[in-house]
Amino acid sequence: MPATPSLLPRRYSPRKLALAGVAGAAIAFAVALPLTARLTAPLPDTVEIANGLDPNDPTDAATDLDGDGFSNLQEFLLGTNPRSAAINFEIKLPLQAWNGKFYMVGCGGFCGTLNSEARGFSNAMNFGLRRNYAVSASDSGHWGTNAVDARWALYNPVAVMDWAQRYVPETARVSKIIVKAYYGAAHKKSYFAGCSQGGRIGLMQALRNPKDFDGIISGAPAIDNTGLYNHFAWVANANSGPDGKSVFSPAKLNLLRNAVYAACGEKLGVADAVIADPRACHFKPSTLQCRAGDAADCLTQAEVAVAEKIYSGPVNSRGQRLFPGVPPGSEPFWPARITGTGGGQALPYAQSYFRYMAFDPPAGPSYNVINYDFDKDPPRLAYAASITNAATYNPSTGGIEFDDMNAFKEAGGKLLIWHGWADASVPPQHAVDFYETLGKKEGGIAVVQDFARLFMVPGMDHCGFQGPGPADTGIDPLTALEQWVEEGKAPSELIATKTAPNSNQTLWRRPVCAYPNAARYKGSGDPTDATSFTCTAP
């Protein structure tokens, strides 16, 4: 029988305990931050506005928004968030048949919610719970209205640091204490899985906290966070006309998509075929340009210019690349990510980031990303890069800079990176560039493959959240990582499964090969069957 949990270290205090008879025991704890400052000044108006307070009311500095015993002014002087004083997390413990292992997940965007019931695989703790892991998830140290909301970061450096790099090691440490106390025995193996910003912090764990996990799954990682926001600012500006409205007509996206897939898509007669490797696609949007004026079956000169900028990626006035562009084949996801109502996700994410987190001092809520200067502003992100980036692209050298992974490798850690080739949010080429740079650091890809492997999934959207490519549950990196860590069987391939929308009907299956290998059709056999493909060297 599991043991009764003993008292935790004093800086941690229990917030709730709930038992679910089938799914497991759900226990949530919060990190409490100590009081070390005195009341010495009034709250700045910007802080009061950011936290929903009245700048004209001198008494609200003494109130306590989050009920943690610290006044709003005390929290401002501490650098903590008046609306949330803790890294909140939930841990679920199987009541029966615990597998003896611990599994933690990351969170996406600016996080800010305790999304412990997330579905699928990406950042979903219940995926591990169904396999009888003890599991935990966190809000990354603050509360927000949604994953796009970064208002909490304004004048809140502690919360920024929690989100950027601290919430995973802190949550993992306390979760492991709870696991040992509950079961009367420590976990045998521990794993972390995260996608997008969760993938970024997974890489930061390998680089900065190499002994926390035996295996790490990093999906669609926002490796260079500041570079990624250069990309968001770029696509938002590219598709914004003088009147502030979108230049590229949403009605013409199918025209562009169909032309790209006709030029570069596989010709195997498979439903929802994909572009296997967008690097081999050299489609030019100018081939669709109208001879004159505008029409439904062609692109205007301005629309062609938008598409070309989205594909090419951000550059400064000297022509230096600031981040990779969006790949051909990602067009099905542009409405949600880039060109949809309100600029898709790119514009609101960029607005939130550059207003509240990017600069020192903060730009504030009146800032408009349309005014972003691609010459002057990227250098201003240097401090943010030092906090948030797992690796940073250097426009001057064209290289990617990051620390080595020697400590992770020497600890026996295994890293599995996966990324969709059709990702319109986090350009997948950056994952390839990062991995190839890691290979150069370690003396070759063959050396790196002893502890880190990369899998590029054809047709997959950001974190596998949308079709027509495979969903996040269409691959199984966790089983592959378990076998690598526990049995020494390094994965040479993952099997990707594409199912029909709203059903379990399998449309096709194929291997996703460990980079740099790629799946090739054998020339015969059922192209919907994975056995008709083989992994070959480039």
Cα–Cα dist 533/418, whole Å? 19
pLDDT at 467: 72
Greater model confidence, 66 or 8: 66
Average pLDDT score, the chain = 88
Per-residue pLDDT at 210 exceeds 80: yes
State the DSSP H helix or E strand holding residue 168, giving kind and residue range, or none if neither. Answer: helix 167-183
Per-residue pLDDT at 16 exceeds 60: no
**Phi/psi at 14 (5° precision):** -70, 140
Q: Tell me the CA distances in angstroms from 192 to 168, 210, 229, 345, one per residue in order.
A: 9, 12, 25, 26
pLDDT band for position 21 (50/70/90)? very low
Residue 426: half-sphere exposure toward Cβ, Cα within 13 Å = 28
Q: Tell me the CA distances in angstroms from 105 to 136, 137, 169, 200, 356, one per residue in order.
A: 7, 5, 12, 12, 25
146 Rama class: left (phi>0) / alpha (psi -120 to 50) / beta: beta
Cα–Cα dist 144/190, whole Å? 29
Asked whether 84 and 153 are in contact (CB, 8 A), the reply is: no
pLDDT at 430: 96
Alpha helices for 34-102 (secondary structure H): 45-50, 72-78
Per-residue pLDDT at 222 exceeds 90: yes
Greater model confidence, 20 or 496: 496
Which residue in 370, 378, 386 sits closest to 322, CA to CA? 378
pLDDT in tens, 367-412: 999 999 999 999 999 999 999 999 999 999 999 999 999 999 999 9
pLDDT at 98: 97
pLDDT at 10: 24
pLDDT at 7: 30
Average pLDDT over residues 60-89: 72
What 3-state class would DSSP assign to 94?
coil
Per-residue pLDDT at 56 exceeds 90: no
Average pLDDT over residues 174-200: 97
Per-residue pLDDT at 202 exceeds 90: yes
Q: Tell me the CA distances in angstroms from 149 to 36, 158, 222, 299, one per residue in order.
A: 29, 17, 17, 34
Which residue in 67, 63, 131 sits closest to 97, CA to CA? 131
Cα–Cα dist 494/497, whole Å? 10
Per-residue pLDDT at 476 exceeds 80: yes
Residue 509, strand partner residues: 497
pLDDT in tens, 79-109: 666 765 578 899 999 999 999 999 999 999 9
Average pLDDT over residues 341-365: 89
pLDDT at 390: 97
pLDDT at 50: 74
Greater model confidence, 207 or 82: 207
Among residues of the chain, what percentage have pLDDT more than 70? 89
pLDDT in tens, 119-155: 999 999 999 999 999 999 999 988 888 999 999 999 8
pLDDT band for position 271 (50/70/90)? low
Q: 21: which residues sit within 8 A by CB, 6+ positions away?
A: 95
Average pLDDT over residues 441-461: 96
pLDDT at 79: 67
Q: What is the DSSP letter of 441?
A: H
Cα–Cα dist 393/74, whole Å? 38
Per-residue pLDDT at 22 exceeds 80: no
pLDDT at 4: 34
Asked whether 461 and 422 are in contact (CB, 8 A), the reply is: yes
pLDDT at 23: 35
Residue 534, strand partner residues: 520
Cα–Cα dist 406/413, whole Å? 10
**Phi/psi at 282 (5° precision):** -120, 35
Greater model confidence, 338 or 431: 431
Least confident residue range of 20-29, 331-340, 427-436: 20-29
Average pLDDT over residues 245-274: 87
Asked whether 278 and 473 are in contact (CB, 8 A), the reply is: no
State the DSSP H helix or E strand holding residue 178, giving kind and residue range, or none if neither. Answer: helix 167-183
Per-residue pLDDT at 512 exceeds 50: yes
Per-residue pLDDT at 6 exceeds 80: no
pLDDT in tens, 297-327: 999 999 999 999 999 999 999 999 999 999 9
Whether pTM > 0.85 for this model: the answer is yes
pLDDT in tens, 32-43: 333 333 334 578
pLDDT band for position 156 (50/70/90)? confident
Among residues of the chain, what percentage have pLDDT more than 90? 72
Distance of CA 532 to the CA centre of its chain: 32
**Structural domains in the chain, sorted by start:** 12-32+86-187 (3.40.50.1820), 227-384 (no CATH)
Per-residue pLDDT at 20 exceeds 70: no
